[in-house]
Amino acid sequence: MLDIRFVVDNKEFVKEQLSHRGGEYPVDKAVELELKRRAILGEVEVLKAKRNKESEQVAQLKRAKQDASSIISEMQKVGEQIKGFDAQLSEIEAELKMTMLSIPNIPHNTLPVGKDDGDNQVMRVVGEPRNFGFEPKPHWELGEQLGLFDWPRAGKITGTRFTVYQGLGARLERAIISFMLDTHIFDNSYFEIYPPYMVNRASMTGTGQLPKFEEDAFAVKNTDYFLVPTAEVPVTNLHRDEVLDGAKLPIKYCSYTACFRAEAGSAGRDTRGLIRQHQFNKVELVKFAHPDNSYEELESLTNDAEKILQKLGLPYRVSMLCTGDVGFSSAKTYDIEVWMPSYGRYVEISSCSNFEDYQARRANIRFKDDKASKPRFVHTLNGSGLAVGRTVAAILENFQNEDGTVTIPEALRKYMYVDEIK
RNA sequence: GGAGAUUUACCCAAGAGGUCGAAGGGGCUCCCCUGCUAAGGGAGUAGUCCGGGAAACUGGAGCGAGGGUUCAAAUCCCUCAAUCUCCGCCA
């Protein structure tokens, strides 16, 4: 969430910046509520100060065994007034909070102004799509022929958009998870976290999935828990309501989890293969950074994620999302897209974002440079490093051979114990 | 799932409806004292959030969380959460 004081003091600027996202946001309403809140707060606090003083008088009179009934009856009336103001205040504060939660982050000024993904800016293209010299197969066909996946039975035991991996398919998925984690731990110096797959409502709100996007999440019946849509949620919330030591920033975490998404708005899209699933694996990178250098940290986080594709030898490109395409909580996002022959285009495999203090304010994650200084909000960043299922798809498709076999990239062989899938 | 206990500041911990933003330890910071160390003596040590103010300063909130009772709540009542012990069940 944005800083309400900043919004009050810079209302027109905020509205102008948010207009680049397209869409309407209740900035005026938030400002109005905040001003009302301050006015009532001023009144009620005068009354409370009076009550505190007079109650002190009562205590003294009682100790001296004197009569205090006139003050008490007067304070009864004051108490009623306070109660009325407090009720108004909590109503306004609740409404203000909901309003602020529905206002997205201000896009960073380096973003191209644009409407949708057509206006994103390609930063670099690495590697070249291979010239096959034969008709390449999509990964779902290869996977079926090689016995890596069992979608009919996945449908039977669970439903659509779920996958049963088996044999070398299961091993490939597991190998990629280990390879990604090891790269980030040993090459890139991240600290590994293995969190719960369910989180409570406060965590989902802290990172911005709630209240606006509740229909995208799976809720666990008879509880107030949600299945994690990404490790970003549990890992970022590790430090919710904490004050971190500024000297320890940046804190760098990597985390493997399964991820669960309802894909509510995606009916009919990517129905075949591994691209869009209700349950998928992902290795996530999360950073808690100092505001002074969070944009450098965004560059290095993106490079860390790219390193996976480089080591695997997969062709990819990196784009900066435009103002109309950047996510709700993000100030700046780079998408990393891998070449997917069956789609004949690049497909998103990682999304690396700097949320600045937007998430940190929601989740109340602060730091102090030293003991004497005031706590400030950290900048939070995250990015996939990478989505595992889509990596499996990319490997199968990009490294397939004419005879239907798939060559395992060098970097994965020590995790796979075989050089090819046949 | 059942029963009981606990939750107070950096840590441990005392706390009666009014004198409590909170005794007492420990730790930490500074000072004194001894050749150094150990020991001893003294002083300091509530952070945080929301207001007002140019500032000095000042008002309010804050004892696990949220409600309630009361002129007044760490203290009484209710709901919830976490931790511990025992029982049950289980990988």
Q: What is the pLDDT of residues A168-197, one digit of tens each?
A: 999 999 999 999 999 999 999 999 999 999
- Whether A41 sits with its Cβ under 7 A from any strand B atom: the answer reads yes
Q: What is the CATH number of domain A117-421?
A: 3.30.930.10
Mean pLDDT to the nearest integer, A62-76? 87
Mean pLDDT to the nearest integer, A37-41? 92
CA A238 to C1' B87 (Å) is: 33
Are the C-beta atoms of A299 and A320 separated by less than 8 Å? Answer: no
Across A202-216, A226-240, A346-360, least confident range: A202-216
d(CA A99, CA A34): 11
Mean pLDDT of chain A: 93
Domain locations in chain A? 4-101, 117-421
CA A251 to C1' B65 (Å) is: 29
Is the torsion defined by CA of A56, A60, A63, A65 positive or negative?
negative
Per CA to C1' distance, which residue is closest to B61? A45
CA A272 to C1' B78 (Å) is: 54
Fold matches, A4-101 and A117-421: no
Q: Is 90 exceeded by the pLDDT of residue A398?
A: yes
Mean pLDDT to the nearest integer, A324-350? 96
- Whether A152 sits with its Cβ under 7 A from any strand B atom: the answer reads no
- Whether A70 sits with its Cβ under 7 A from any strand B atom: the answer reads no
- Whether A202 sits with its Cβ under 7 A from any strand B atom: the answer reads no
- Whether A155 sits with its Cβ under 7 A from any strand B atom: the answer reads no
- Whether A90 sits with its Cβ under 7 A from any strand B atom: the answer reads yes
* pLDDT category of residue A300 using cuts at 50, 70 and 90: very high
- Whether A77 sits with its Cβ under 7 A from any strand B atom: the answer reads no
- Whether A189 sits with its Cβ under 7 A from any strand B atom: the answer reads no
First to last CA, chain A: 51
Nucleotide nearest to A243 (CA to C1'): B48
Helix, strand or coil for residue A209? coil
Residue A369's pLDDT is 81
ipTM > 0.90 for the complex:
no
Statement: the pTM of the whole predicted model exceeds 0.95? no
Nucleotide nearest to A60 (CA to C1'): B18
CA A380 to C1' B40 (Å) is: 50
CATH 3.40.190.10 for domain A4-101: no
Q: Where are the alpha helices (DSSP H) in A64-219?
A: 69-101, 139-145, 151-157, 168-182, 201-206
Residue A375's pLDDT is 86
